[in-house]
Amino acid sequence: MKIIFQNEHFVAVDKPAGVLSVPARQADDPRPILGRELEKQLGQTIFPIHRLDAEVSGLVLYALQPKAHTQANGQFENRLVQKTYQAFSKGGKFTAGEEGQWKALILRGKKRAYESPAGKVAVTQFKCLRRSSEGYFEWRLFPKTGRSHQLRWELFRHDSLILGDTLYGSDEPWKEGIALRSLSLEFQAEFVKEFGLPAMLQVDPWPSRA
């Protein structure tokens, strides 16, 4: 567990794959919980703000005070935080440099997300950085909403499966978890000033594969 930033209000961590951001619904889930480990390490209560799937690595932000927690929740809920993800996938019909926006109505089932007229709007901006001759793609993904499995489902929907994501049908191995990584969080100027945050928190991307 690598702490990227910490002050009296917040702590940001580079979460490894295979670790839960918050406790699972099943009480007997054996996977380690990042929030609990942080509380032990810091010796204080922490407050979850957002989460990553256990299979996903990268930047996670927690609050250390109730006021910071409330304000940060508002920033995320009102879509004032710019989130950037890196992904590697295989398949689909894309070209290097292609960018645009995906929009759909999705719901989360017991395991996977799916499209439904009763679903919630999911909006993702994307940029395909490169494509290899073997059909591997490297992406930068910018979710404008925070639906469960939003990015995993979108690449599945576009026939470009995230490496290692067996839940959505990938048979391509990945070193750990899946090839989806939370790279950065960018905040509004007033929020940054009030809580002493950098304008952008970020972790290192994976080396290019595609």
Whole-number Å distance between alpha carbons of 42 and 120? 37
Catalytic residue flag (residue 171)? no
User: Catalytic pick from 53, 165, 171, 204?
Assistant: 53
Phi then psi for 173, rounded to 5 degrees? -70, 155
Cβ(185)–Cβ(82) below 8 Å:
yes
Bridge partners of 61, per DSSP, are 12
By three-state DSSP, how is residue 110 classified? Answer: coil
Phi then psi for 126, rounded to 5 degrees? -140, 155
Tokens 């395991």 found at: 111
Number of residues assigned to the chain: 210
Phi then psi for 191, rounded to 5 degrees? -65, -45
Residues serving a catalytic function are 53
